[in-house]
């Protein structure tokens, strides 16, 4: 990669990062080429030349959030054996990320869902695709735990995934809105109690 290409990619990464910070603080609709340009000291045309339209930048933000989320929560857990060790590590890492990142910056999966829930269009479609993909990965992990005999054979994967997601959504609310420092510990206790109802 030549120096010019590398600089261009770094600039684009800085643009998307600044837009992600803006979305986390104020919502996806707060993103504009000018607002991002002001944040990183570029011209509006300089931002446009690297990311395109406002909608393209919003989409890039959703995709970048997804990459960071997967890198923090899912990929490290893949080092664990299939089944309950992996599922447990995913939930543990999700709680940690919510405590350390989302409580401060906001969770795009949660906030974006409320922001776009009644707005049809490509942006909602992309966020829905990202969230659905994540829930599918979580469902596969639950299925592996069932197949390994770590969870009861009659465990309903969709139900368990729904309960895990509800647990984390509650954590986002309590940690971010209520600013409850004990919320992550309570979430971990809730997970342990929930898990006990599914174990053999």
Read off the pLDDT of residues 69-122 as tens digits, 9 standing for 90 and up: 999 999 999 999 999 999 999 999 999 999 999 988 889 999 999 999 999 999
pTM of the model: 0.92
All domains of the chain, ordered by start, with CATH?
55-198 (1.10.357.10)
What average pLDDT score do residues 129-150 get?
Answer: 98
Indicate the helix (H) or strand (E) that contains 71: none
Please give the C-alpha separations between residue 62 and each of 94, 167, 199, in angstroms, as whole numbers. Answer: 18, 22, 35
Please give the C-alpha separations between residue 47 and each of 17, 29, 44, 141, in angstroms, as whole numbers. Answer: 12, 17, 5, 39
Calculate what percentage of the chain has a pLDDT beyond 90: 90
The pLDDT of residue 4 is 65
Indicate the helix (H) or strand (E) that contains 107: none
β partners of residue 199 = 151
Lowest mean pLDDT among 35-39, 61-65, 102-106, 183-187: 102-106
Distance of CA 138 to the CA centre of its chain: 13
């Amino acid at each position: 990669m030549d120096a010019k290409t590398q600089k261009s990619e770094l600039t684009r990464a800085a643009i998307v990062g600044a837009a992600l910070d803006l979305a986390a603080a104020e919502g996806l609709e707060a993103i504009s080429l000018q607002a991002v340009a002001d944040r990183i000291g570029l011209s509006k045309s300089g931002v446009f030349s690297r990311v395109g339209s406002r909608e393209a930048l919003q989409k890039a933000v959703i995709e970048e959030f997804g990459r960071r989320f997967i890198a923090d929560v899912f990929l490290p857990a893949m080092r664990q054996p299939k089944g309950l060790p992996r599922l447990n590590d995913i939930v543990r890492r999700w709680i940690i990320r919510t405590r350390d990142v989302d409580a401060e910056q906001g969770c795009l999966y949660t906030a974006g869902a409320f922001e776009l829930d009644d707005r049809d269009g490509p942006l909602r479609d992309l966020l829905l695709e990202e969230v659905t993909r994540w829930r599918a990965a979580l469902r596969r992990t639950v299925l592996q735990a069932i197949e390994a005999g770590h969870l009861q054979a009659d465990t309903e994967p969709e139900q368990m995934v729904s309960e895990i997601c509800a647990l984390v959504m509650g954590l986002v609310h309590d940690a971010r809105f209520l600013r409850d420092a004990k919320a992550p510990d309570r979430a971990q206790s809730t997970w342990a109690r929930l898990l006990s109802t599914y174990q053999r």
